[in-house]
Each structure stands twice: as structure tokens, then as C-alpha cells.
Amino acid sequence: MGKNTEINLVGQPIFKQIIDLLGAINLESIIKRHDADRYYKSFKSKTHLITMLFGIPSRCDSMGEICEGMRAMSGKPNHLGLKSSPAKSTACDGLRKVVG
């Protein structure tokens, strides 16, 4: 009876596993094809998607709660592929432009 070596996700947070699935759908090519980051310098499409996905399992009701929750993680946003957590005003502006 050997150790099961096929399970390599032990110890990774569920949210990190969801983010890793974004690489499987080749998100970068979709962003490039639709030229989604054309007018944005700091709040790119991938950052926006990760921010919005963070709010679902953490049960946040507003963009302010999402940003505060990401900021509370302090140094951990880098394992999500982010350099830092987005500012609340930047995230709210990005959401306003997508919805409006």
C-alpha cells in the first residue's frame, strides 16, 4: 500500500484551486481577443475577476467588504496572482463601468 501521489492539492485553499482553473480556460487569450484591458492601467480584467470571485465564498455583500477582506489577508494576495489587494475606490469604479 503506497501513498496516493495523485492528490497534490492538499493544503491549498479552495479559492486558490479555483484561481488555478482560470489558467485552464486560457483567460489571457480571452482578454487579448476582446481587448478588455485597453483603457485600464491599474485594475485589469484578471484582477477584477479575482476580486469578484473572492466575494462569493467569503459571502461579502459589497465591494467595500470584498476589498477589506482582501486587505485583511495582508501578504497573501500574491498567491492569488495579485501584487496587492485593490483599493476600494478603484474596484468600485471598475464595477460601475462594467455594470453601467
Residue 17 has which C-alpha cell?
484551486
| Residue 3, pLDDT score | 57
The per-residue pLDDT string of the chain (100 residues; one tens digit each, 9 = 90 and over) reads: 555 555 554 556 788 888 888 878 888 899 899 998 888 888 888 888 988 888 888 888 898 899 888 888 766 666 777 888 888 888 888 777 665 5
Residue 80 has which C-alpha cell?
492569488
Distance CA 96, CA 88 (A): 12
Identity of the residue numbered 25: I
- Residue 47, CA distances (Å) to 14, 37, 38, 63 in order: 18, 11, 14, 13
Distance CA 4, CA 70 (A): 34
Distance CA 78, CA 92 (A): 21
Give the Cβ contact number of residue 67 at 10 Å: 22
pTM of the shown model: 0.75
What is the chain's Cα-based Rg? 15
